[in-house]
Amino acid sequence: MKVTQSHPLLEDYFDLEAQLLQEHKHKNARTILKCFYGSLLNAQELINIKNAVGQLISINEFFFATKTINGALDSIPNNKNHLEKYVLEIKLYPRLKTVIFAFTDDEILFGIGGVFKVEHFEYNQEIKAWNIQLAATDSLATTVKDYLYYTRQEMEDYSSTIIFGRLLLNELNEFNKGKNFFSLLKRTLPDIHEDIPAVWNNIAIIEERNENFDLALQHYKQTYDLRRNRLLPNHPLIAHSLHNIGIIYYKIHEYEQALVSYMKALEIYRLNYPNDHVDKK
């Protein structure tokens, strides 16, 4: 489904990369810079990062980093779900081409798709948080470019209403507003509305982030059933639902079920995308 109407926030989203790139070209970064970002992760996510030491990761959202570690610690939200505090310590080298960032008075705004090498991971008793050291790199530039292209293509499958809610959840860190927004859509949209599968999918995402995995699995399966009844059998969004179901099975240690879902998703991806498409990796 194509986006048929516009929203100022949505326009800002598509313009932001270009604005950041322009600012990035004019910055005067001649020495190695260091900045910090603080937030919360669950235990499994921390294990995944620990296992990624020495490897490359991509952060596929806009985010603000502070120039001081205290600023990052102050920005960590209240911990209501027994999550772990962490601080990213990010090194920025001169002449980076694909990790796009721009300076404000007290913060650094990073563009979507930056690639970083995980250099170190340990618990810091002094700050009472996990310290994760990253180094920005231009490695995997082609892969990230492909990811951004297909992300834009994927967004065309959603109405501007759904994209607005996704921006609240994923890009603007307005989690409570995003949760209320999708809860309102669930209550007010008729069951036959074309946005209903996406509404349930985003409600599942919210439950997953809150570690309510039983509810997340229930809603991901509901999304899958709705999409299967409305879309062609090999539509990428059906594969997306299967992949989400597999993730939840993995998180609750139902590994055989997870593998079944992953394989079904991969089969559909193979029918839709070229051999080296990023969604298949």
CATH of the domain at 89: 3.90.176.10
Q: Say which CATH number the domain at 194 has.
A: 1.25.40.10
Print the domain residue range for 44: 8-147
User: How many domains is the chain partitioned into structurally?
Assistant: 2
162 in any annotated domain: no
Claim to verify: residue 250 and residue 138 sit in the same structural domain: no
Residue 250, in any domain of the structure: yes
For 194-219, write each residue's pLDDT tens digit: 889 999 999 999 999 888 999 999 99
How far apart (Å, rounded) are the C-alpha atoms in residues 267 and 259? 12
Q: For residue 206, is it within any domain?
A: yes
- Please give the Cα distance from 57 to 77 (Å, whole number): 23
As to burial, measured by CB atoms within 10 angstroms (0-12 exposed, 13-18 middle, 19+ buried), residue 90 is buried
Instruction: Give the chain's largest Cα–Cα span.
Output: 57
143 and 31, same structural domain?
yes
pLDDT bucket at 275, cuts 50 / 70 / 90: low
The string of pLDDT tens digits covering residues 246-261 is 999 999 999 999 999 9
Share of the chain above pLDDT 90, in %: 35
The whole-number pLDDT of residue 215 equals 95
Cα dihedral sign, 32-61-119-38: positive
Q: Average pLDDT, whole number, for the chain? A: 78
Any alpha helices (H) in 34-188, and if so which ranges? 43-51, 69-74, 141-155, 160-166, 175-188
